[in-house]
Amino acid sequence: MTSFATHLECARCSEYYEVNTVQQLCSRDGGPLLVRYDLRRVQDAVEREELRMRPATLWRYGELLPIERDASIVSLGEPTTPLLDAPRLGQALGVERLQIKDEGLLPTGTFKARGAAVGVTRAKELGVTAIALPTAGNAGAAWAAYGARAGIKVVVVMPDTTPQVIQRETAAYGADVWLVKGSIADAGAVVKRATAERGWFDASTLKEPYRIEGKKTMGFELAEQFGWTLPDVIVYPTGGGVGLIGMWKAFAELREIGWLHDVRTRFVAAQSTGCAPIVRAFEEGADESQPWPDPKTFAAGIRVPKALGDFIVLRALRESNGIAVAVTDDDIAQHMRVAGEREGMLVCPEGAAALAAVTKLRGDGWIKAGERVVVFNTGSGLKYAESLQGAAPRALAAGALPT
Q: Is it the case that residue 391 has pLDDT exceeding 80?
A: no
Please spell the DSSP secondary structure of 71-140, one letter per residue: GG---S--BPPPEEE-HHHHHHHT-SEEEEEEGGGSGGGBTHHHHHHHHHHHHHHTT--EEEEE-SSSHH
For 251, residues 6+ apart whose C-beta sits below 8 A from its C-beta are 219, 223, 230, 260, 263, 265
pLDDT in tens, 117-167: 999 999 999 999 999 999 987 999 999 999 999 999 999 999 998 988 999
Please spell the DSSP secondary structure of 209-272, one letter per residue: SSHHHHHTHHHHHHHHHTTS---SEEEEE-SS-HHHHHHHHHHHHHHHTTS--S---EEEEEEE
> pLDDT tier at 1 (50, 70, 90 boundaries)?
confident
In this prediction, residue 135 carries a pLDDT of: 94
pLDDT in tens, 332-365: 999 999 999 999 999 999 999 999 999 999 999 9
How far apart (Å, rounded) are the C-alpha atoms in residues 211 and 113? 9
Quote the percentage of the chain above a pLDDT of 70.
Answer: 100
Task: Please provide the average confidence, as pLDDT, over all residues in the chain.
Answer: 96
For 341, residues 6+ apart whose C-beta sits below 8 A from its C-beta are 390
Helix (H, G, I), strand (E, B) or coil at 323: strand
Q: Is it the case that residue 262 has pLDDT exceeding 90?
A: no
In this prediction, residue 394 carries a pLDDT of: 85
* Closest C-alpha among 384, 345, 184, 189 to residue 275: 184
Q: Which residues pair with 157 in a beta bridge?
A: 134, 178
> pLDDT tier at 191 (50, 70, 90 boundaries)?
very high
The mean pLDDT of 94-107, rounded to a whole number, is 98
pLDDT in tens, 62-76: 999 999 999 999 999
> pLDDT tier at 304 (50, 70, 90 boundaries)?
very high
Backbone phi and psi for residue 134, each to the nearest 5 degrees, phi listed first: -90, 160
In this prediction, residue 206 carries a pLDDT of: 96
Q: Cα torsion for 173, 203, 270, 162, to the nearest 10°?
A: 40
For 378, residues 6+ apart whose C-beta sits below 8 A from its C-beta are 103, 104, 110, 111, 112, 138, 237, 243, 301, 348, 350, 351
Question: Between the CA of residue 243 and those of 56, 89, 112, 150, 284, what are the distances in Å?
Answer: 20, 24, 9, 23, 23
Rg of the chain in Å (alpha carbons): 20
In this prediction, residue 369 carries a pLDDT of: 94
Residues constituting the chain: 403
> pLDDT tier at 384 (50, 70, 90 boundaries)?
confident
How far apart (Å, rounded) are the C-alpha atoms in residues 220 and 177? 33
CB burial of 172-211 (b: ≥16 within 10 Å; e: otherwise) equals: ebebebbebeebbbebbebbeebbeeeebbbbbbbbbbbb
pLDDT in tens, 203-233: 999 999 999 999 999 999 999 999 999 999 9
Distance of CA 232 to the CA centre of its chain: 20
For 400, residues 6+ apart whose C-beta sits below 8 A from its C-beta are none
Cα dihedral sign, 86-87-90-95: positive
CATH 3.40.50.1100 correct for 79-389? yes
DSSP 8-state class, residue 347:
B
In this prediction, residue 390 carries a pLDDT of: 78
Helix (H, G, I), strand (E, B) or coil at 148: helix
pTM greater than the 0.85 cutoff:
yes
- The conformational region for residue 171 under phi > 0 = left, psi -120 to 50 = alpha, else beta, is alpha
The mean pLDDT of 94-104, rounded to a whole number, is 98
